[in-house]
Amino acid sequence: MKKSIIILIILIILIVLLLILAFFFRGSLTGNIIKENEEKIYSYTKAICNETNYCQDTEIICKGNQTIDRKPITGAAVQFHESWQDPRTKEQIERDC
């Protein structure tokens, strides 16, 4: 009986300590996660077309809002007929990261 009461008291103290730690460190953990996302490195592909409607798929690598690199994807190109018009807006065509 005495042993189970001591174990119960120790468990309650541990739970209270964990709750206190979680409460005090909650804000700083969230702030650090947001800060890491600002410097996130990511990539995506986009077709880049010239004036003769030859479009080459390109991998664009970004860090935050800055373009780090552009790499054409071999074998991923198409030549559209001369009356073809790109359906994307000017902003979509020019924007990288």
pLDDT at 38: 62
Quickly count: other Cβ atoms within 10 Å of residue 11's Cβ.
10
Is pLDDT of 32 > 70? no
pLDDT at residue 36 is higher than 80 = no
CA distance 68 to 6: 60
> End-to-end CA distance of the chain, in Å?
66
Res. 54: pLDDT tops 70: yes
pTM of the model: 0.55
Cβ(53)–Cβ(80) under 8 Å?
Answer: yes
What pLDDT is recorded for position 18? Answer: 80
Side-chain-facing half-sphere of 52: CA atoms under 13 Å: 5
Query: In the predicted model, what is the mean pLDDT of the chain?
Result: 84
DSSP label at residue 88: S
Structure tokens at 5: 């009461």
Rounded to an integer, the average pLDDT of 20-25 is 72
**DSSP bridge partners of 47:** 57
